[in-house]
């Protein structure tokens, strides 16, 4: 049942936190980073960061690969692309409304 895992709401919720957005930003550079590397510069404890990473992982935004004694996290862009399309759909519907409104005003 992966259906629920990556529901749009789940993905949005995962991105709905400044700390997590910062993690995504760091990882969007493409280089896999370890937990301690991701913790550096970020006031919070390593455990807190780990929890945030698990949330991102649960939404499918990120995945980890254990390498020796450290586990590297890497971005997984599919869910992000997915909700982008979701937003596109909403905006599109809205644009159609604007279009109709504009047409109405002009006639």
- Sheet containing 62-67, strands listed edge to edge, beginning at the edge strand earlier in sequence: 33-34, 70-75, 62-67
User: Measured from the CB of residue 12, what is the shortest distance to DNA in angstroms?
Assistant: 11
Query: Which positions from 13 to 42 touch its own copies by CB under 8 A, shown as an x/- string?
Result: xxxxxx-xx--xx--xxx------------
Output 65-72 pairs: Cβ under 8 A, ≥24 positions apart.
65/32, 70/34, 70/35, 70/36, 71/34, 71/35, 72/32, 72/33, 72/34
Report if residue 7 touches its own copies, rule: CB under 8 A.
Answer: yes
Query: Which positions from 52 to 71 touch DNA by CB under 7 A, shown as an x/- string?
Result: x--x--------x-x-xxxx
Report if residue 51 touches its own copies, rule: CB under 8 A.
Answer: no
Query: Which positions from 76 to 105 touch its own copies by CB under 8 A, shown as an x/- string?
Result: -x--xx-xx--xx-xx-xx-xx--xx----
Q: How many residues bind its own copies (CB under 8 A)?
A: 35
Q: Pick the closer one to DNA by CB: 74 or 92.
A: 74
Output 99-104 pairs: Cβ under 8 A, ≥24 positions apart.
none
Q: Which of its own copies, DNA, none does residue 93 bind to, with CB < 5 to 8 Å depending on kind?
A: its own copies
Alpha helices in the chain (DSSP H): 2-5, 8-15, 18-27, 35-39, 46-58, 78-106
């Amino acid at each position: 049942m992966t259906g629920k895992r990556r529901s749009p709401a789940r993905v949005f919720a995962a991105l709905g936190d400044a700390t997590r957005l910062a993690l995504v930003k760091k990882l969007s550079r493409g280089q896999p980073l370890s937990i301690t590397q991701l913790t550096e510069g970020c006031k919070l404890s390593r455990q807190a960061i780990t929890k945030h990473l698990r949330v991102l992982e649960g939404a499918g935004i990120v995945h980890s690969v254990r390498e020796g004694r450290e586990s590297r996290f890497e971005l997984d862009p599919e869910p992000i692309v997915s909700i982008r399309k979701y937003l596109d759909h909403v905006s599109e519907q809205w644009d159609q409304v604007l279009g109709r409104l504009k047409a109405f005003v002009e006639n």
